[in-house]
Structure 1
Amino acid sequence: MTRVAVVTGGSRGIGRAVAQRLDRDGLAVVIGYAGNDAAAQEAVASMRQARAVRADVADETAVAALFDLAEREFGGVDVVVNAAGRMTLQPVAELDLDALDRMHRTNIRGTFVVSREAARRLRSGGALINFSTSQTRLLSPAYAGYAASKAAVEALSLVLARELRGRDITVNAVAPGPTATELFLDGKDEATVERIAKLSPMERLGRPEDIAEVVAGLAGAMRWVNGQTIFTNGAAA
């Protein structure tokens, strides 16, 4: 039986690297994406057995339709990776509250909606991997709203792991450090990027593929890792 993964935020960045990594492991992959049709189709074209569905992760009807497609096309859902996210960086005193609401709608409500659907539909032996951030440790200036939203993801993931007792389903969060994606690089000049890269003793930014390797482990053989937040940052935090 082919294992099946649902990957939100799977059209670009870390989400795409995860989807491609799971595809190489032999899983059928259903990508959820917010709005970039061209990027989603490029991602699907790069994989062996994949579909793409436009879905707002905070919309429970759209998320249910994403899981419906996975079940209809491939027979069920075994792995859910919730890589969709939004980041706005401003000091607390200056943070636009509408931007805060949009960020929390995706990062908190979106994670909750996807996790709820995963809890209802994952087959025995399944895995849910949500995304946090190493900023829940670093707590750098301007990251308060973003870090707060991701701290909620860590709490949700541990509680859900405990609620799924007896079903042989793992729930974990992956917390990347600085990673070379559009989301991270946007608005940062070269000097800032170089300074941040030096935070790690590896003296480089993470790559989406670095994060995808950790997700693949949690989605596969790492069955005794459950209810954890895995900081994947090259010791930058």
Structure 2
Amino acid sequence: MVLVRPQQFQSHFAKHVFPSRDVSVIHVIKASSFMSANPHRVCAAMNDIESTTEEGFDQAFNLNVKGPYFLIQKAVMYIPPGGRVILVSSGVLHQSEVAPRYLLYAFSKGSIEQMTRILAKDLGPKGITVNAIAPGPTATEMLFQGKTQELIDTIAGFSPLLRLGKPEEIAALAAFLAVPTSS
């Protein structure tokens, strides 16, 4: 499995990651499209339409759409039949109630869901399975950064379980999707 970390996740990274490593055993690419810990990027994707700059728009789409797209484009020639592509979307797309200022974030993550559907049809005949994980609010350092306990409790309330998810729950789902019996 190749795990691409957020700080590496730029479209130009895809041009260099595969030729520079032994890829003969790649079976799974987990294209993680999490927002960077850089607070400016987080803010850019969480602005309302009036305050979104073109630079902020580009940052969100470069990270959440362009990066995964070109990473998969470069990786697909190395993924054998039975291989897996696992993308990360967001549970915010499936909530019945959305918080304000999520337009750009949800818009870019919605692109990941469409990419997943189309890639599943395009790569399926080659024996490659494509899935997306859409976690809800998850207890990570980034989620807690700069937030009051009241805000964290509000965010946890968006989940049907009324709690924050755990990173290990997402990892368990990715592990399930990565094994041959999950097809």
Question: By the TM > 0.5 criterion, same fold?
Answer: yes
* AA aligned opposite 1:160: L
2:162 match: secondary structure: coil
CA distance in 1, matches of 2:172, 2:116: 20
Shift of 1:221: 4.0
Shift of 1:120: 1.9
User: Which residue of structure 2 aligns with residue 63 of structure 1?
Assistant: 14
* AA aligned opposite 1:117: K
Query: Quick check: which one's helix share is greater?
Result: 2
User: Which residue of structure 2 aligns with residue 157 of structure 1?
Assistant: 116
User: Which residue of structure 1 aligns with residue 30 of structure 2?
Assistant: 81
Deviation string, structure 1 residues 56-106 (Cα, Å, up to 9, x no partner): 4311xx32322234426xx33100001133242112222233112111111
Provide structure 1 residue ranges, at least 5 long, that are not aligned to the other structure: 10-32, 35-54, 225-237
Shift of 1:172: 0.7
Query: Quick check: which one's strand share is greater?
Result: 1
Could you tell me whether the CA contact under 8 Å between 1:70 and 1:76 is conserved in 2? no
Shift of 1:108: 0.8
User: Which residue of structure 2 aligns with residue 8 of structure 1?
Assistant: 4
Deviation string, structure 1 residues 23-72 (Cα, Å, up to 9, x no partner): xxxxxxxxxx52xxxxxxxxxxxxxxxxxxxx44311xx32322234426
How many residues matched?
A: 173
Call closer, same or farther: CA 1:185–1:92 in 2, change over 3 Å.
farther
Query: TM-score, normalised on structure 2?
Result: 0.85
Identity %: 29
CA distance in 1, matches of 2:124, 2:21: 24
* AA aligned opposite 2:2: V
Spell out structure 1 runs of 4+ moving beyond 4 A: none
Provide structure 2 residue ranges, at least 5 long, that are not aligned to the other structure: 36-41
1:123 match: secondary structure: coil
Alignment of 1:33-112 (within 5 A): 34=7, 55-59=8-12, 62-71=13-22, 75-86=24-35, 87=42, 88-112=45-69
Q: Does 1:218 align with 2:177?
A: yes
CA distance in 1, matches of 2:140, 2:181: 26
- Tell me which moved more, 180-189 or 158-167: 180-189
CA distance in 2, matches of 1:118, 1:182: 29
Alignment of 1:204-215 (within 5 A): 204-215=163-174
Q: Once superposed, what is the RMSD of the aligned Cα atoms?
A: 1.9
